[in-house]
């Protein structure tokens, strides 16, 4: 068995330009939505990620025909025929987002059997909101042997109130409602840009969805023959953009972040500005980020969009580790989202954790250490910490990072960062380098 690790030599300011790819959290849902229309749907700006490969495998296992051109970042999904309604555990367990196939299958085929999901171990992410909503539309659901089995003789529009603005539940209900009879109203809906992207995709396909991006979404059901295959381009990944912005600020660099929607990062940008970073809009889809001196500490609470994104909490924590003063982070969404804390302490950070609060007292500097990625965003945050630290850091279990970042080390190197990927053979020091510091 072979594994890979990142070797990072810190202390080099990141400078230059970096382009942001398609949004992982959007494209996975667009690919699931593609099965609603018979024929070939083409999706552009698809990032080359392991999560994308997993979702394509899930969709292909249903009987669709898949073409994935990694050079042009284009995926073609021919959903003329769905021959199987079972999304198997072997695939769904690898990635929680694949559970979204439940709503799409119920909508298209009126039945589905989907394994309960896996994904990053960042805390409890229940599916009861999904199930209650689908039941309100007329779906009969049983959970047995690790699978959710759903059957619907007919789907009928309903009013559904979500106890929390769950992104996954909102998406599953949108997909299930597209072909339901009558109108469905989702109240307390998630408002993320990825929700808007899914609604735009479905509307382009022939659906009738209003209010996406607000707390109330109305889906007026259409007939199957009113849906048609389309060609569509995924929005940019706001979390990837925030990660590179953080890396530039952390290393006291100056760089242009291209191919983004700046409005999707308003709250995060505001916090960076309050810490002392400089952000300048230079084009409608590009910003210049820089930082000269020591940052100031801030307090913030993670919240559903448009609040501070939980996916960027670990990045902000890295900045606070060397900021002036004491900062407090309150994680309101996931109970295990501070998994980067023990490794940051190994690098010299002073962090005190009390349940969902992290109190960070800024130190003068971090130092390199041997680290391990516990999940996708924590792994990326540790890489940023390695870039700003004195000395060399190693990060193991980087398959987590590959789930959500395309060409991560190549983009960092293009900005002047010293980072390489090494293959570890049988967990012993028989290493060969794929690139050089």
**Is the Cα torsion angle 377, 319, 164, 126 positive or negative in sign?**
positive
Angle between helix axes 24-33 and 50-60 (nearest 10 degrees) is 10
**Residue 339, both tokens:** 């998994």
- 26, exposed or middle or buried, with CB in 10 Å at 0-12, 13-18, 19+? buried
Contact 46, 24 (CB under 8 A): no
Measure the N-to-C terminal CA separation of the chain; round to a whole number of Å. 25
Contact 169, 130 (CB under 8 A): yes
Catalytic residue among 55, 106, 120, 389: 120
Contact 247, 381 (CB under 8 A): no
Q: Is 109 a catalytic residue?
A: no
Beta strand extents in 152-301 (DSSP E only): 159-161, 183-187, 208-210, 216-220, 231-233, 254-258, 278-283, 286-290, 300-301
Cβ contacts of 407 within 8 Å, gap of 6 or more: 48
| C-alpha span between 83 and 240 (Å, rounded) | 36
Rounded to 5°, the CA angle 14-19-21 comes to: 130
Beta strand extents in 63-200 (DSSP E only): 65-69, 74-78, 86-87, 111-115, 140-144, 147-151, 159-161, 183-187
Rounded to 5°, the CA angle 122-113-227 comes to: 100
Backbone angles phi, psi at 250, to 5 degrees: -60, -35
Rg (CA), the chain: 22
Write out the catalytic residue numbers. Answer: 120
């Amino acid at each position: 068995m072979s594994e890979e690790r990142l070797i990072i030599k810190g202390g080099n300011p990141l400078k230059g330009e970096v382009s942001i790819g398609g949004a992982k959290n959007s494209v996975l849902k667009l690919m699931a939505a593609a099965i609603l229309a018979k024929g070939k749907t083409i999706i552009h700006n698809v990032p080359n990620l392991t999560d994308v490969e997993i979702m394509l495998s899930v969709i292909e296992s249903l009987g669709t025909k898949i073409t994935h051109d990694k050079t042009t970042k284009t995926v073609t999904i021919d959903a003329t025929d769905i021959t199987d309604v079972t999304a198997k555990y072997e695939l769904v367990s690898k990635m929680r987002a694949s559970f979204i196939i439940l709503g799409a299958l119920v909508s298209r085929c009126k039945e589905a059997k989907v394994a309960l999901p896996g994904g990053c171990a960042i805390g409890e992410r229940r599916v009861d909101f999904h199930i209650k909503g689908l039941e309100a539309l007329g779906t009969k659901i049983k959970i047995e042997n690790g699978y959710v089995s759903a059957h619907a003789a007919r789907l009928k529009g309903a009013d559904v109130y979500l106890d929390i603005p769950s992104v996954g539940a909102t998406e599953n209900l949108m997909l299930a409602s597209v072909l339901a009879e009558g109108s469905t109203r989702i109240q307390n809906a998630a408002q993320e840009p990825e929700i808007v992207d899914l609604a735009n995709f479905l509307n382009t396909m022939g659906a009738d969805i209003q209010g996406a991006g607000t707390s109330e979404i109305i889906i007026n059901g259409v007939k199957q023959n009113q849906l048609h295959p389309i060609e569509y381009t995924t929005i940019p990944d706001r979390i990837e953009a925030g990660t590179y912005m953080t890396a530039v600020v952390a290393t006291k660099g100056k760089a242009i972040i291209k191919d983004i929607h700046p409005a999707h990062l308003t709250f995060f940008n505001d916090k960076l500005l309050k810490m002392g970073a400089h952000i300048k809009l230079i084009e409608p889809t590009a910003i210049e980020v820089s930082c000269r001196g020591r940052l100031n500490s801030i307090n913030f609470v993670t919240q559903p969009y448009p609040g501070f994104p939980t996916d960027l909490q670990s990045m902000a924590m890295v900045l606070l580790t060397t900021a002036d003063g004491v900062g407090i982070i309150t994680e309101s969404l996931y109970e295990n989202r501070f998994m980067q804390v023990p490794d940051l302490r190994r690098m010299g950070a002073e962090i005190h954790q009390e349940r969902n609060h992290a109190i960070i007292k800024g130190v003068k500097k971090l130092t390199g250490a041997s680290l391990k990625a516990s999940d996708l965003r924590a792994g990326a945050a540790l890489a940023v910490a390695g870039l700003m630290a004195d000395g060399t850091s190693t990060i193991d279990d980087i398959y987590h990072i590959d789930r959500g970042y395309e060409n991560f080390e190549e983009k960092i190197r293009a900005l002047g960062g010293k980072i390489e990927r090494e293959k570890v053979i049988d967990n012993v020091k028989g290493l060969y380098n794929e690139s050089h510091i």
